[in-house]
């Protein structure tokens, strides 16, 4: 991966790093803010930065304690709630009005909470295989159901010195068997850079989001899924679609959980088409 020097914007006392592709001259579209998931950072959306910036500024943010922060896992400032507060403040600090907000995996949960926390900052909300636990619906949706405490097992392997083994366990659980081995070098380097954030994920409280709370969302919502994504992502999207009957749902063909990397063209087209109608 080429050396990348991100910008920083200090919010809530923390310098949030981000990459951006500026809007072209004369562009009038609202900015698009991209939020990564577990073990990733602002570099994750590399294939989206230029293609989605033809009409607007595109900003990809690194959440608190992810790269370029060399976090040691200590302290209690790693949580989805903290990340959502930071994200809402970051969007406000951009100073460009409501944004189109896209979150992937755990970043989808963070984006959802930010949209509920500061609805006036979000023009549209896109959730790509969001890692959201829900309660209060026809059936509760648990993110870890049937996955055997994979976070804890991955973290234990990393602590024991088997970094790639722990990362492979995590990535293969969320995206399908043998995904880690097949991933490109830049992705593996990014994930290694963020390996210690699993300490935060293991410790953070994971409180299910009451399904009734979703009624407070004011922005149009797009639910994106990988056609090959493993459980529990299809069930999460089903539950969200029931709770948000006006949401649009699109499947990215020939792609699992990392859909924006596996089928770049289809993912970018889906995002662009939705933003164009929002």
pLDDT tens, position by position, 10-35: 999 999 999 999 999 989 899 999 99
pLDDT band at 173 (very low <50, low <70, confident <90, very high): very high
Number of domains present in the structure of the chain? 1
pLDDT above 60 (res 1): no
Q: Is residue 108 in some structural domain?
A: yes
pLDDT at 138: 62
pLDDT band for 209, please (50, 70, 90 cuts). confident
Indicate whether 170 pLDDT > 70: yes
Residue for token digits 């072209």? Answer: 24
Q: What backbone phi and psi angles, to 5 degrees, belong to 268? A: -65, -40
Domain span at 268:
7-143+207-277
Assigned domain for 21 exists: yes
Measured distance CA(105)–CA(36) in Å, rounded: 7
Q: Are strands 32-35 and 58-61 parallel, antiparallel or unpaired?
A: parallel
**pLDDT value at position 3?**
59
Residue 188 located in a structural domain: no
Separation between Cα atoms, residue 203 and residue 85, nearest integer Å: 18
Here the CATH number for the domain that contains residue 16 is 3.40.50.1820
pLDDT in tens, 96-112: 999 999 999 999 999 99
Answer yes or no: is pLDDT of 144 > 70: no
Residue 184 resides in a domain: no
**Per-residue pLDDT at 116 exceeds 70:** yes
CA distance 240 to 136: 12
How high is the pLDDT of residue 206? 79
pTM of the model: 0.96
**pLDDT tens-digit profile of 229-239?**
999 999 999 99
Q: Is residue 161 part of a domain?
A: no
Give the pair of three-digit tokens for residue 266: 């289809």
Residue 251 maps to a domain: yes
* 154 part of a folded domain: no
Note whether residue 153 is domain-resident: no
Q: In this model, does residue 200 exceed pLDDT 80?
A: yes
């Amino acid at each position: 991966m080429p050396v990348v020097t991100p910008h920083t914007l200090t919010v809530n006392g923390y310098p949030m790093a981000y990459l951006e592709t500026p809007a072209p001259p004369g562009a009038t579209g609202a900015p698009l803010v991209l939020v990564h998931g577990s073990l990733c950072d602002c570099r994750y959306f590399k294939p989206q930065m230029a293609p989605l910036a033809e009409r607007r500024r595109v900003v990809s943010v690194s959440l608190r304690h992810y790269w370029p922060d060399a976090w040691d896992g200590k302290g209690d400032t790693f949580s989805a709630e903290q990340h959502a507060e930071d994200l809402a403040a970051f969007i406000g600090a951009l100073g460009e009005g409501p944004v189109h907000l896209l979150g992937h995996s755990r970043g989808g949960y963070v984006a959802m909470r930010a949209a509920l926390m500061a609805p006036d900052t979000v023009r549209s909300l896109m959730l790509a295989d969001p890692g959201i636990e829900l309660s209060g619906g026809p059936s509760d949706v648990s993110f870890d159901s049937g996955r055997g405490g994979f976070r804890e097992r991955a973290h234990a392997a990393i602590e024991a010195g088997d970094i790639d083994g722990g990362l492979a366990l995590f990535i293969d659980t969320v995206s399908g068997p043998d995904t880690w081995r097949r991933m490109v070098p830049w992705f593996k380097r990014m994930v290694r850079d963020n390996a210690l954030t699993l300490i935060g994920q293991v410790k953070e409280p994971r409180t299910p989001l009451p399904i009734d709370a979703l009624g407070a969302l004011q922005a149009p919502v797009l639910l994106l899924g990988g056609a090959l994504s493993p459980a529990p992502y299809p069930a999460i999207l089903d539950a969200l679609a029931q709770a948000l009957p006006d949401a649009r749902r699109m499947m990215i063909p020939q792609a699992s959980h990392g859909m924006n990397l596996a089928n770049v063209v289809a993912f970018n087209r889906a995002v662009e088409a939705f933003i164009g109608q929002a």
